[in-house]
Amino acid sequence: MGKEYQKREDGEGFWEVFDVATGEVAKLGGLVLSHLDLETANGALDMLQNQVLQENGQLPPDITSNS
């Protein structure tokens, strides 16, 4: 099983997505997922939780392309 992610409010009215096991803020395609509005945090969380994209922004190895 992969990593588990959640979101949390940062105390300034923004959101961040973090790795539940480490508490560290997650990255997606090199972008640190902090200081986000709620909609962006939800979208990033959805991509990571559903393994649409890996932290490095690439498709997971078990997803193949039709190209």
Q: Does residue 66 belong to any structural domain of this protein?
A: no
Among positive and negative, which fits the CA dihedral 52, 58, 38, 19? positive
pTM for the structure as a whole: 0.75
Q: What per-residue confidence (pLDDT) applies to 52?
A: 64
Token pair belonging to 62? 């078990």
Q: Does residue 28 belong to any structural domain of this protein?
A: yes
Q: What per-residue confidence (pLDDT) applies to 19?
A: 93
39 pLDDT more than 80: yes
- Quickly state the pLDDT bin for 37 (edges 50, 70, 90): very high
Tens of pLDDT, residues 47-66:
888 876 667 777 677 654 44
| Full domain range(s) for residue 41 | 5-49
Token pair belonging to 35? 């200081």
Q: What is the mean pLDDT of residues 21-39?
A: 94
Provide the domain count of the chain: 1
